[in-house]
A = this chain, B = another copy of it.
């Protein structure tokens, strides 16, 4: 971890200063991949008992719990192959993404999944106490990818929703978009993750990023509701990006997909609708008609094509 930790700090520091950081994320992803694939055993753990069943691997070292579950059909284990896939994916972000082939979409999913899972597995095996770090790397990496893809868009790291309650003019002021440094409120999740907009108008696309959602699933819907109440419906749209909803089950040596379909339907209908739910490892329970009838559920790679279309549509609508 003597290599990984300082690289992560550099990434995080560049990101916080809004400086280009994708090159450093790439270096970190490659270092994490090399470390975990060369120093840990990678082998079958168990199945998720769905239809069809899904096999999961884990990384293991002696003297530690295994890493989180990893899908071998999405994770690129060979180091040379991973670096090639990652660089090819990053290269393909520049030429427009909305006409991507199925192969390019799958490549995007595999590149992000492998980068994030390599980094997260290093922390699972060698620094289990830093539980929030993998989620932050996921956010930083995706921000870097989107900045490369959308060079003329504006990026805000957070919309400080708390600023909305400072009454004077919050409703139509861009001052509400800023980093959330409200020390008084550090305990609460009232800032969004990434927000993508354009310099000449209010509103945009909110991109909450969560490796897994768990009980935090309420946040993107509650934030969308607050944005709808404060700015009017249709000004902001949320696209939720996740990696997976898996969990090891020690007792049965199997893998669970922790899903809450009733909750998702409830929030989508009665809290506020989000416009898409994206996963690298799409949970089977969400990849079904009752959910997809009320909200698009798609692979992570599809996000890159959808976001380009959505931003163009917003431009056309003048909002």
Task: Kindly list chain B residues whose C-beta atoms are within 8 Å of the C-beta of A165.
Answer: 262, 265-266, 269-270
B217 touches A258 (CB 8 A): no
Question: Once bound together, how far apart are the Cα atoms of A188 and B214, in whole Å?
Answer: 8
Task: Kindly list chain B residues whose C-beta atoms are within 8 Å of the C-beta of A258.
Answer: 187
Option from B214, B225, B262 in Cβ contact (under 8 Å) with A271: B225
| A190 interface hit (Cβ, 8 Å) | yes
Knowing A187-B214, A189-B218, A225-B225 touch, does A161 contact B266 (C-beta < 8 A)?
A: yes
**Interface 0/1 of A169-210, CB less than 8 Å to B:** 000000000000010110111100000000000000000000
Shortest distance in angstroms between A270's beta carbon and chain B's nearest beta carbon?
4
| A74 interface hit (Cβ, 8 Å) | no
B260 touches A185 (CB 8 A): yes
Option from B189, B218, B225, B265 in Cβ contact (under 8 Å) with A270: B225
Question: Once bound together, how far apart are the Cα atoms of A263 and B219, in whole Å?
Answer: 13
Q: Which of A188, A221, A230 has the largest number of chain B CB atoms within 10 A?
A: A188
| A253 interface hit (Cβ, 8 Å) | no
Q: How large is the interface on A (under 10, 10 to 19, 20 to 34, 35 or more residues)?
A: 20 to 34
Question: Once bound together, how far apart are the Cα atoms of A252 and B271, in whole Å?
Answer: 41
B229 touches A215 (CB 8 A): no
Question: Once bound together, how far apart are the Cα atoms of A168 and B215, in whole Å?
Answer: 27
Shortest distance in angstroms between A159's beta carbon and chain B's nearest beta carbon?
11
A262 touches B162 (CB 8 A): yes
A270 touches B230 (CB 8 A): yes
Residues of A261-302 contacting chain B, CB below 8 A = 261-263, 265-267, 269-271
Knowing A218-B222, A222-B222 touch, does A188 contact B263 (C-beta < 8 A)?
A: yes
Option from B184, B226, B266, B270 in Cβ contact (under 8 Å) with A260: B184
| A85 interface hit (Cβ, 8 Å) | no
Option from B161, B162, B259, B271 in Cβ contact (under 8 Å) with A226: B271
Question: Once bound together, how far apart are the Cα atoms of A162 and B225, in whole Å?
Answer: 18
A215 touches B190 (CB 8 A): no
B271 touches A190 (CB 8 A): no
Residues of A130-168 contacting chain B, CB below 8 A = 161-162, 164-165
What residue of chain B has the Cβ atom nearest to residue A290's Cβ? B165
Task: Kindly list chain B residues whose C-beta atoms are within 8 Å of the C-beta of A189.
Answer: 215, 218
A-B pairs, top 4 by smallest CB distance, nearest first, are A162-B262, A188-B263, A229-B270, A188-B260
A interface residues with partner B (beta carbon < 8 Å)? 161-162, 164-165, 182, 184-185, 187-190, 214-215, 217-219, 221-222, 225-226, 229-230, 258-263, 265-267, 269-271
